[in-house]
Amino acid sequence: MSTDTATDAGAADPGAPVLELEDLVMHFGPVRAVDGVSLSIAPGRVTALVGESGSGKSTVGRCVVRLLSPTSGTVRLGGTDVTGLGRRAMRPHRREVSIVFQDPAGSLDPRMLVGDVVAEPLRLQGRGGGRAERERRVAEQLERVGLDRSVAQRYPHELSGGQRQRVSLARALVSEPRLLVADEPTSALDVSVQASVLNLLADLQRDIGFACLFITHDLSAVEYLADDIAVLYLGQVVETGTREEVFARPRHPYTQALLAAAPVADPVRQRERTRVLLGDDLPSAIDPPSGCRFHTRCPLAVDRCATEEPVLRTVGGGGSVACHLVDDDGSGPDVRDATPGATPDATTDPDHDDRPGSPA
């Protein structure tokens, strides 16, 4: 790891959280995609942002890297508020945070040689020295992500999906960011290569030590990679905690429902399982339900849930939860006990295993 990573990029305090979101709001016209998200990631930690499709995960990620300008709220990188910064003022902070997208085919410029794709962040940041130095760094990056350095002379379309995603990772990490936003980095890939790319991401994270906002709906990947978990429902965080806490003792009925589906690797079957517990699809983000946004699908909802919005509060045993049914000591009901047929039968389910999160 380079020693100059945090010092000359404008990061005020290396001990400060790498990322802090405070009451982040992102509305697209009437669509309330993100509606008051607060979370923080300490240096070197991996926080998984989980939730169904449409819950706002990608929108949060895009606000963090400033591809989107939030409607309101604050984005702080390394203690510095970057929310209102324009293009130029943002430049010194650019190298602190990178993003890898779901679809490497769409995110790599097809007209550029791979070597130029990987070197581009250095060039844009006015770094990387002369041509020879840049080429050296590119070769080093390519090898780091398990590619031959000769790949620098090829075009993205000449590579497989897995190789392209490795190139995306090389590009994202070439500027040695303190934070990587990984937005469903494996879900567009062939199932056969998903595990190897995920392993690579985990190895790089461990070796280099960057913090990561890991956006995913794949709970087995969360278990493998994440230190902490934030659960998003209709644009709001409903539960946070360490991976161990959340998998062993999910507090929010929505988290419990997600975890009931966890041992299933196939996302289609995972959705089916979730549906046993939750019924319909996510309600519209244009007109979210009153009170607790989850009450329309919650098997445990009581009258109060329809009228009074629960606040996200710290509960006993660590973590935080936004649910009226959870006591301050963290105890509360579990939808998995209340809904017969919600959990898979270990004897008939070939995907069943004994990982934490599997409702054995």
DSSP 3-state of 270: helix
What amino acid occupies position 72?
S
For residue 51, the minimal CB distance to ligand ATP (Å) is 6
Helix (H, G, I), strand (E, B) or coil at 254: helix
Contacts to ligand ATP from residues 221-280, by CB under 6 A: none
Q: Does 285 participate in binding ligand ATP (rule CB under 6 A)? A: yes
Q: Is 59 in the site for ligand ATP (CB under 6 A)?
A: yes
- With residue 28 as reference, give the H or E element that holds it: strand 19-28
What is the smallest separation between the CB atom of 92 and ligand ATP, expressed in angstroms?
A: 27
Structural contact between residues 316 and 328, judged by C-beta atoms closer than 8 angstroms:
yes
Q: What burial letters (b/e) apply to 236-249, b meaning 16+ CB within 10 Å?
A: bbbbbbebebbbeb
Q: Which stretch binds ligand ATP (CB under 6 A): 9-17, 56-64, 162-170, 250-258?
A: 56-64
By CB under 6 A, residue 288 contacts ligand ATP:
no
Binding segment toward ligand ATP, per CB under 6 A, in 55-63, 112-120, 124-132, 289-297: 55-63
Nearer to ligand ATP, 67 or 306 (CB): 67
Q: Please choose, from the candidates 349, 347, 285, 350, the residue with its C-alpha nearest in 3D space to the C-alpha of residue 54.
A: 285
Q: Where are the alpha helices (DSSP H) in 279-330?
A: 303-307
CB of 61 to ligand ATP, least distance (A): 8
**Shortest Å distance, C-beta 203 to ligand ATP:** 25
State the minimum distance, in angstroms, from the CB of residue 58 to ligand ATP: 3
Is 70 a binding residue for ligand ATP by CB under 6 A? The answer is no
- Rounded CA gap, 333 and 336, in Å? 9
Contact residue for ligand ATP among 5, 47, 58, 255 (CB under 6 A): 58
| Closer residue to ligand ATP in complex, CB, 53/153 | 53
Residue with the two structure tokens 């840049």: 134
Q: Which residue has the tokens 């017969």?
A: 340
Of the residues 10, 56, 156, 185, which one makes contact with ligand ATP according to CB under 6 A: 56
Q: Looking at 4-12, 47-55, 84-92, 133-141, which segment touches ligand ATP (CB under 6 A)?
A: 47-55
Taking CB under 6 A as the rule, does residue 307 contact ligand ATP? no
Q: Does 287 bind ligand ATP (CB under 6 A)?
A: no
First to last CA, the chain: 41
Q: Which of residues 2-41 bind ligand ATP (CB under 6 A)?
A: 28, 31, 33
User: Total number of residues binding ligand ATP (CB under 6 A)?
Assistant: 12
Q: How far apart are CA 18 and CA 340, in angstroms?
A: 42
The two three-digit tokens of residue 169, written as one number: 């990772």
Largest separation between any pair of C-alpha atoms in the chain: 68
Q: Does 51 bind ligand ATP (CB under 6 A)?
A: yes
- Closest CB 340 distance from ligand ATP, rounded Å: 29
Among 5, 55, 194, 320, binds ligand ATP (CB under 6 A): 55
In the complex, minimum distance from the CB of residue 139 to ligand ATP, in angstroms, rounded to a whole number: 34
String of DSSP letters for 38-99: EEEE-TT-EEEEE--TTSSHHHHHHHHTTSS--SEEEEEETTEE-TT--HHHHHHHHTTEEE
| Consecutive H or E run containing 143 | helix 131-144
Q: Strand pairing partners for 74?
A: 22
Residues that bind ligand ATP in the complex, under the rule CB under 6 A = 28, 31, 33, 51, 53-59, 285
